[in-house]
Amino acid sequence: MHSLHLSFEAFSRQSSEWKAHVLGGIAFSDARNQAGSEIANFPFALVNMPVLEGGGLASEIWMSDHKVRHAQRGLIRYSYDEDTLFGVLLMPQTGALEQITESAFAQIFSLLEGRGYTHIFRFWNYLADINGGDDEDESLERYRQFNLGRQNAFVASGREVSGNLPAACALGTADGPLTIAFMAGRTPTLSIENPRQMSAYQYPEQYGPRSPSFSRANLVSLSDAAHELTDTDQTLAQQKLLFISGTASIVGHETRHHSDVAAQTCETLVNIEAVIHEANKKTCTGEFSMTDLFYRVYVRHPTDLPAIRAEMEHVLGHSFKAVFVQADICRKDLLVEIEATAVSTIRLPEEQYA
């Protein structure tokens, strides 16, 4: 399995044979009005967020090396191969967000249990007006309602609410349905935490009656998978996927560098580097680095884009791959959030597959 980042137009031009291996994807608002028959068979999250820079990389497409099947259950559209399932659920945001969210996750968990893909790699969550609610009662903020519904569904489905949790993000859109994209598989994954930060599932009650249910990153190993390394060389390889959750300028559990977007960006990158270090300790091979990641950068104020990009260039150099989109962040005092993904494929020694 691997991911590609390209424009919606480039995706649409691909052949039917190529598209037969698409599990699904996520695209942003510049592709929203162009979606039609070209993606009719695929679970595709079309998120209403303006692309500020990097439109040529604004569609994230997940590809399988195996035959892909497509199906629908209720409001969930999903595709799957023998190892992995990718799905998208769109829920109209009418009524209480807590109940809508709980219902959405309950449907996802039911599908995954029924199909046997019980180990969740990653959730991508997008909801309208994430910072909205009652200014006099912060417990009614929409993000906190979302966390209530999400954790209720985890508990009702018998899932852990701490420890080995999937990676995730939760960002705010201007409007549109509650959009949840997810990826899961048949084999256990390994959650990664950041020693610089309190685990999100342990946040104190000042951030809401229920803590967010995600890990800082999730490491997925697809071992001994047949993988075509070149056109003429097909052999066994070990593939690892690193999903780094939405990451921000938080140390411990507190926001740092209020109103300073450059400092927030720098702190966020330090946090990502710490997560990579922890992931490499788990793999024992040191295969992930900051320059190998693909970054999706959520920017609260479009005018902050030059400062954010400049800070990323200072840390990563000028050749890093990223798309920048405008979004509201889960805390009102956060100006930027960055998530990242890496796929590593290593040829196994001959004695392991002889």
Q: Name the active-site residue from 337, 339, 350, 351.
A: 337
244 strand-pairing partners = 217, 340
Residue appearing with tokens 């052999």 = 235
Regarding beta strands 178-185 and 119-128, do their DSSP bridges make them parallel or antiparallel, or are they unpaired?
A: antiparallel
Q: How far apart are CA 323 and CA 305, in angstroms?
A: 11
Strand-strand pairing, 294-299 and 321-326: parallel
Question: Read out DSSP for 220-234?
Answer: EEEEEEEEE-SSS-E
State which amino acid sits at residue 27: A
Does residue 141 have an active-site annotation? no
35, 44 contact by CB (below 8 A): yes
Q: Which residue has the tokens 């919606």?
A: 8
DSSP code string of 264-278: HHHHHHHHHHHHHHH
Contact in structure between 38 and 14 (CB atoms under 8 Å): no
Copy the structure tokens of residue 140. 């009614």
Q: Can you name the residues that pair with 61 across neighbouring β-strands?
A: 4, 25
d(CA 174, CA 180): 16
Catalytic site positions: 337
